[in-house]
Amino acid sequence: MTIQTGTDTAKTRRQLVLDGSSVAYYSIEAATEAGLGDFSKLPASLKVVLENLLRFEDGGRTVSVDDIKAFAEWATLGGKNPREIAYRPARVLMQDFTGVPAVVDLAAMRDGIKALGGDAQKINPLNPVDLVIDHSVMIDEFGTPRAFQVNVEREYERNMERYTFLKWGQNAFNNFRVVPPGTGICHQVNLEYLSQTVWTDKDQNGQEVAYPDTLVGTDSHTTMVNGLAVLGWGVGGIEAEAAMLGQPISMLIPEVVGFKITGALKEGVTATDLVLKVVQMLRKHGVVGKFVEFYGEGLDHMPLADRATIANMAPEYGATCGFFPIDDETLRYLRQTGRDEGRIALVEAYAKANGFWRTRDYAPIYSSTLELDQSDVVPAISGPKRPQDHVALTDSAFEFRKYIYGTRKLPEPTANGEKRWNAEGGAPAPHDLPGHHEGYKEGTVEGQDYKLHDGSVVIASITSCTNTSNPYVLMAAGLVARKARALGLKRKPWVKTSLAPGSQVVEEYLKAANLQEDLDAMGFNLVGFGCTTCIGNSGPLQPEISKSINDNDLVAVSVLSGNRNFEGRISPDVRANYLASPPLVVAYAIAGDMNIDLSSEPLAYTPAGEPVFLKDIWPTSKEVAELVDTIVTREMFQAKYADVFKGDERWQAVEVTDSETYDWPATSTYIQNPPYFQGMGKEKGAIHNIEGARVLALLGDMITTDHISPAGSFKPTTPAGQYLTERQVAPRDFNSYGSRRGNHEVMMRGTFANIRIKNEMLDGVEGGYTTGPDGAQTSIYDAAMAYKDAGIPLVVIGGIEYGAGSSRDWAAKGTNLLGVKAVIAESFERIHRSNLVGMGVIPFEFTGGDNRKTLGLRGDETVSIDGLEGDFKPLSLVSATIRYADGSEKVIQLKARVDTEVEIEYLENGGVLHYVLRNLAKA
């Protein structure tokens, strides 16, 4: 790749001499000397964005001098100056669930540009793109030595069409690489190998230029790499496609929240406990659309793996990113993970020369601040259905029973501080549960000598990108297993256990420490390298366990070391899901019951009948640190990443044709040519008012992209299942929604089809249902198609934080294809708002205290929105007329969450990809 730098930036360009060689860079200090402003007090995360504008400043076509001066004004205005800027990340990261539809779109754009008389070769990534296949492995086999082999074989059986398509894309497109299945999770591969912290490349004049490593990714947890001082965040696939095709990302200069970390973690407290507390604090503070930057002397005691854990969870606290500046720990991690010594020297020299280095007195200006003393953090879990639902471990059993049964009066602590439910309507203590409460439910399990009840832990999974590249918590999990094994403990037989590391290096150091044998003894055999349980690929429960849960309406529990526990995500059989550290996951597998207070009650008994408490099997911080320091080596990383793009013999055997455009297989149920560009004209259209729209869904608060575009499994009775059944696909081969994101027909039918979504138009009904044009209950998909056939536009109405969660472009694509013209909510999460605009759907926010409840909406209204034609500006206030079923009308004001002028152009073109395609065809 050659980086195109601006034409008016010579005054800020300097040379950095390192070991006798010279590399150019764009100096923030030089920008101050050139009279562009004082940038010395900017947070490091914002300096990365500023450097990007200095490098691409072109006199105003995309980046102007005034854009750069706005950063100095940001500092003088106390950390606020929401000016629109054009930002160009250095590269793009994808995973296969979100990456496949992105590559599908690129292939469709090649067809589209040829139809417009353009050159198909213009559809090529201009920036490097890496796609890591990590979302496709499912846990069919577990708890046996053959689990990994069986799951990999099933993965290839299910996904060969997708893998063939991706391999075609790797050959057809420039700057596009694929990391094969079984390598690791994209964020670990990015953190441990792909990222460089400071990047170098040649400019258009052939001179070497150094600049901060930046990226966007099609997975919301792209933010993990901010722990390595690499600025990156998740975007929808459509926005990522535009970025890789050279389109700058239009954004507002963000506010930056400073999060001061002091002190050190107490004995027995993990990085997971810390991040769950951070999530709770930042959600309460309010950081949606903002950068968060961590600083303070507490970082001096924080390993980079812990920083990456906190950065990973930025989507859960709602921020664009959670950034850690470059310091000595950054260099130590780069060295440990096998980066070239010349690169490490460049990172240090560049960071110090350009003002990116964190010193002990680092104290920039922030938009707002908050502070946490790490010594105040306690062991905790989060759940049962949101990452921010922080529960101290001492309260976990109490809070679970309150969630299940409710209470008319909360119990008072006893004299010794224990919390017990009183007889006045609360749920019982664990030992009193069977038969002692009218709400208590249990069920027999066919062929087994145990029963299940509310609170039975049926899934315990060490999984996801959040924790499984952190050797401190992985080693801790192994030590818990070792100590439990020595006492003769085992997992409960109803618990489905799994270990799915984010990196092959994890397997290497667990074996080197002889801890894998202990984890195997607890049922935590390696099941694959991928996201698995965290994204709904937990696989089926044993049929007799699933039957007992559903026949008796039990509230079964999962405990996972992941970052997402939204309703309906983990397993269709599990209603309460908790996030926990890997060692706690092992402990809950042994306990098997969320009703047990692990902080004070025995989690199990030895074969001799002796009680075992959590403290008896919990390792000390010293034990963990000594193992990590002794076992985890630079050579492990170098060996495992030596052939990262090669893959195993299965991947090498995948055969593809060499062609410029893709030969879409007509019978494929995985890959289909999407309809977005078919029949598209050369000229853009216009934005139109919305007349007489019907309400497709009336939704509550915190509707996530999981609710809108489900992941995980689906049944034959769903519209998506019916579509596949009609094409002779057996339910065993349905795979998951995520794996079929390359087929718009499946995904349209899966939009708003989450099993736990509640459409308030219906009374107490869960699942993807609504009322159709005839007023009868039907599926969302069937209703949308009936309205489409009748030529009636649709709107969706929601509450606060609409679109929280994963960066799923299909949450916007499906909304568009169902015929929805607008989404009206109280507030939007950042990525989904952007994706809606990118797909031509206009997001609106209620104003003046209005919401679905104050307006008395029932879903049988019609909605008309004016003010979208002619002089429609970003963030305009427009009038909406609500016509109620009784004929009365009310006019309200809505705020159009079309935030920039560029987004206006996207809407005029029908979406961001249409905008890019037309421009490329004209060029």
**Which one is predicted more confidently, 103 or 424?**
103
pLDDT of residue 10: 62
Cβ–Cβ under 8 Å, residues 124 and 618? no
| Phi then psi dihedrals of residue 199, to 5 deg | -100, 155
Coil/strand/helix, residue 448: coil
Per-residue confidence band for 695, with pLDDT thresholds at 50, 70 and 90: very high
Indicate the burial class of 499 (C-beta count within 10 angstroms; 0-12, 13-18, 19 or more): buried
Query: What residues contact 779, with CB distance under 8 A and at least 6 apart?
Result: 718, 719, 753, 768, 769, 770
**Which of 367, 369, 298 lies closest to 327 in space, CA to CA?**
298
Instruction: Answer yes or no: do 104 and 184 share one domain.
Output: yes
Q: Where are the beta strands (DSSP E) in 456-575?
A: 457-462, 496-499, 557-560
Instruction: Answer yes or no: do 557 and 427 share one domain.
Output: yes
pLDDT of residue 689: 97
Both structure tokens of 752: 């708003």
Buried b (16+ CB within 10 A) or exposed e, 682-718: eeeeebeebeebbbbbbbbebbbbbbbbbbbbbeeeb
Question: Over 60: is that where the pLDDT of 441 sits?
Answer: yes
pLDDT of residue 439: 62
**Which one is predicted more confidently, 768 or 98?**
768
CATH code for position 424: 3.30.499.10
Q: Which residues pair with 84 in a beta bridge?
A: 252
| Overall domain count for the chain | 4
Q: How far is CA 663 from CA 65, 169, 658, 668, 672, in A?
A: 47, 12, 10, 11, 10
pLDDT by residue (tens digit) across 614-653?
A: 999 999 999 999 999 999 999 999 999 999 998 888 999 9
Domain end, chosen from 631, 647, 676, is at: 631
pLDDT of residue 807: 66
Both structure tokens of 31: 């920008």
Full domain range(s) for residue 554:
390-631
Instruction: Answer yes or no: do 99 and 82 share one domain.
Output: no
Query: What residues contact 45, with CB distance under 8 A and at least 6 apart?
Result: 226, 231, 256, 291, 293, 321, 323, 325
Mean of per-residue pLDDT scores for the chain? 90
Query: What residues contact 503, with CB distance under 8 A and at least 6 apart?
Result: 184, 185, 188, 189, 192, 468, 469, 529, 640
Q: Which residues pair with 704 in a beta bridge?
A: 804
Instruction: Answer yes or no: do 611 and 596 share one domain.
Output: yes
pLDDT by residue (tens digit) across 704-757?
A: 998 998 777 888 999 999 999 999 999 988 888 888 889 999 999 999 999 889
CB atoms within 10 A of CB 617: 23
Element containing residue 482 per DSSP (H, E): helix 471-486
Question: Over 90: is that where the pLDDT of 241 sits?
Answer: no
Domain end, chosen from 631, 648, 682, is at: 631
Indicate the burial class of 681 (C-beta count within 10 angstroms; 0-12, 13-18, 19 or more): exposed
pLDDT by residue (tens digit) across 364-398?
A: 999 999 999 999 999 999 889 888 888 999 999 98
In a domain, 655, yes or no: no
CA-based R_g, the chain, Å = 27
Cβ–Cβ under 8 Å, residues 500 and 137? yes
CB atoms within 10 A of CB 614: 24
CB atoms within 10 A of CB 667: 6
Instruction: Answer yes or no: do 625 and 700 share one domain.
Output: no
In a domain, 169, yes or no: yes
Query: What residues contact 602, with CB distance under 8 A and at least 6 apart?
Result: 596, 611, 612, 613
Instruction: Answer yes or no: do 67 and 149 share one domain.
Output: no
**Which one is predicted more confidently, 191 or 709?**
191
In a domain, 333, yes or no: no
pLDDT by residue (tens digit) across 48-90?
A: 999 999 999 877 778 999 999 999 999 999 999 989 899 999 9
What DSSP assignment string belongs to 262-280?
ES-PPTT--HHHHHHHHHH
CA angle 396, 399, 403 (to 5 degrees): 135
Instruction: Answer yes or no: do 187 and 75 share one domain.
Output: no
| Phi then psi dihedrals of residue 695, to 5 deg | -90, 120
**Which of 766, 672, 772, 664 lies closest to 724 in space, CA to CA?**
672
Domain end, chosen from 38, 70, 87, is at: 87
pLDDT of residue 9: 53
Cβ–Cβ under 8 Å, residues 163 and 478? no
Cβ–Cβ under 8 Å, residues 421 and 427? yes
pLDDT by residue (tens digit) across 772-786?
A: 999 999 999 999 999
Indicate the burial class of 302 (C-beta count within 10 angstroms; 0-12, 13-18, 19 or more): buried
Query: What residues contact 594, with CB distance under 8 A and at least 6 apart?
Result: 396, 397, 400, 455, 456, 457, 557, 559, 576, 578, 588
CA angle 813, 130, 802 (to 5 degrees): 30
Specify the DSSP class assigned to residue 691. E
pTM as predicted? 0.83
Cβ–Cβ under 8 Å, residues 426 and 410? yes
In a domain, 246, yes or no: no
Question: Over 60: is that where the pLDDT of 45 sits?
Answer: yes
Instruction: Answer yes or no: do 868 and 771 share one domain.
Output: yes
In a domain, 637, yes or no: no
Query: What residues contact 670, with CB distance under 8 A and at least 6 apart?
Result: 159, 161, 162, 165, 739, 740, 742, 743
Instruction: Answer yes or no: do 825 and 876 share one domain.
Output: yes
What DSSP assignment string belongs to 175-200?
TEEEEPTTSB-HHHHIIIII--SEEE
In a domain, 42, yes or no: yes
Query: What residues contact 844, with CB distance under 8 A and at least 6 apart?
Result: 822, 823, 824, 825, 865, 878, 880, 894, 895, 896, 897
Instruction: Answer yes or no: do 81 and 109 share one domain.
Output: no
**Percent with pLDDT over 90 in the chain:** 70
Both structure tokens of 26: 């764009």
What DSSP assignment string belongs to 383-420?
-SS-TT-EEEGGGHHHHHHHHHH--SSPPPB-TTS-B-
In a domain, 264, yes or no: no
Instruction: Answer yes or no: do 826 and 888 share one domain.
Output: yes
In a domain, 263, yes or no: no
CA–CA distance, 753 with 758 (Å, rounded to integer): 10
**Which of 364, 13, 347 lies closest to 209 in space, CA to CA?**
13
Per-residue confidence band for 436, with pLDDT thresholds at 50, 70 and 90: very low
Question: Which alpha helices (DSSP H) does 256-356 contain, by range?
Answer: 271-285, 304-312, 314-317, 328-336, 341-353
State mean pLDDT over 804-833.
90
**Which of 122, 10, 1 lies closest to 58 in space, CA to CA?**
10
pLDDT by residue (tens digit) across 260-317?
A: 999 999 999 998 999 989 999 999 999 988 999 999 999 998 999 999 999 998 988 9
| Phi then psi dihedrals of residue 756, to 5 deg | -110, 0
**Percent with pLDDT over 70 in the chain:** 95
Instruction: Answer yes or no: do 406 and 477 share one domain.
Output: yes
CA–CA distance, 112 with 131 (Å, rounded to integer): 23
In this structure, of 35-44, 657-666, 882-891, the range with the lowest mean pLDDT score is 657-666
Both structure tokens of 336: 């440990």
pLDDT of residue 536: 67
Coil/strand/helix, residue 117: coil
Helix axes 271-285, 471-486, angle to 10 degrees: 130
Q: Where are the beta strands (DSSP E) in 614-719?
A: 690-698
State mean pLDDT over 133-142.
82
CA–CA distance, 473 with 833 (Å, rounded to integer): 35
pLDDT of residue 413: 43
